Amino acid sequence: MGKLYTKLALNIFWRQTLAFLLGIIIWCVADPAVAVDWTHPLSFSNAELSRRDFSGQSLQAAEFSNANMELANFTNADLRGAIMSASVMTKANLHGADLTNAMVDQVNLTKADLSDAVFKEALLLRAIFNDVNIDGADFTDAILDKAQIKELCIKASGVNSKTGVQTHDSLGCQ
């Protein structure tokens, strides 16, 4: 009985050792596809971008923090998840741009064209909206303070062509 038990124990030991070694080999050789496919977002932080044409471009998750984008053209650009914090965008054209989930906080948008733009769930705190065109813009679930909403509700008109949402409704105007 002792020889049979020893032979059985030795057989189990070698099977477990082989399984362990195969596991290590597979773990070491496995292709980390997620890490290989990930690309860094574009960064334009602190850049001089006045009068640049970004119209129709895919700029998802691009970073434009502290950039000068005066008179820049973002017509129909895909800016979902973009970061534009503390930038200057006076007289910029954002007509039809998609800024869903974008950070547009502390941005000077004086005289900017925001018509038909989508700002769903965007962060817009302390953004300056002096003399802006918001006809057809969608601000659904955007983060704005009460003073901004009051100011924008005075100008609110139109329906967004992509979402079908009225600007007035998206701001929660009374």
pLDDT exceeds cutoff 50 at 37 = no
Q: Which two tokens stand for residue 58?
A: 């895919």
pLDDT exceeds cutoff 50 at 29 = yes
Q: What is the pTM of this model?
A: 0.77
- When the pLDDT of each residue in the chain is averaged and rounded to a whole number, the result is 89
Nearest residue to 84 via CA among 39, 37, 49, 132: 49
pLDDT exceeds cutoff 70 at 119 = yes
Q: What is the pLDDT of residue 174?
A: 86
Give the end-to-end CA distance of the chain in Å, rounded to a whole number: 90
Q: What is the pLDDT of residue 21?
A: 63
